[in-house]
């Protein structure tokens, strides 16, 4: 599937303020996804991280990559996916208000209830973070 569309609530069990995906740009069921997160100054986390130099927390970038990864398999699963492991995480540049975070994820392995993804976050086609994300299905 390839098109711009908002994230349907049935695909992502999170709700405001914890939805970190604004739009699905491209989705290949069971294989890969590209999503968008518009990073605005109004995000609650910018009030305290950091007051004079607002930066999106790395853990929220990881969570955005995990949510995108979960969207790859969400339609084929009847249960929720939970973050099981984050490995090889690297942060290469700060994400600040006004950035458009493009999140890319691909399924690389499946072991029963465990799904392993290669995920990256980009701003203006430059990688700002990357990690291997493992999700487990309950």
Catalytic residue positions, numbered: 49
**Both structure tokens of 137:** 């299905």
CB 134 within 8 Å of CB 62 = no
Asked whether the bond before 22 is cis by omega within 30 degrees of 0, the reply is no
Distance, CA of 36 to CA of 32 (rounded, Å): 14
Distances (CA, A) of 97 to 37, 94, 105, 112: 11, 10, 23, 39
CB 101 within 8 Å of CB 121 = yes
């Amino acid at each position: 599937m390839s098109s711009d569309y908002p994230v349907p609530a049935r695909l992502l069990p999170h709700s405001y303020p914890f939805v970190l995906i604004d739009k699905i740009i491209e989705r290949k069921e069971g294989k890969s996804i590209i999503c968008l997160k518009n990073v605005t100054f109004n995000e609650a986390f910018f009030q305290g991280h950091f007051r004079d130099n607002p930066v999106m927390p790395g853990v929220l970038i990881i969570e955005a990559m995990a949510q995108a990864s979960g969207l790859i398999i969400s339609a084929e699963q009847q249960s929720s996916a939970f973050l099981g492991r984050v490995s090889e995480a690297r942060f290469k540049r700060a994400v600040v208000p006004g950035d458009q975070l493009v999140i890319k994820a691909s399924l690389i392995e499946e072991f029963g209830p465990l799904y392993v993804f290669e995920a990256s976050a980009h701003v203006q086609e430059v990688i700002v973070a990357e990690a291997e994300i493992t999700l487990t299905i309950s």
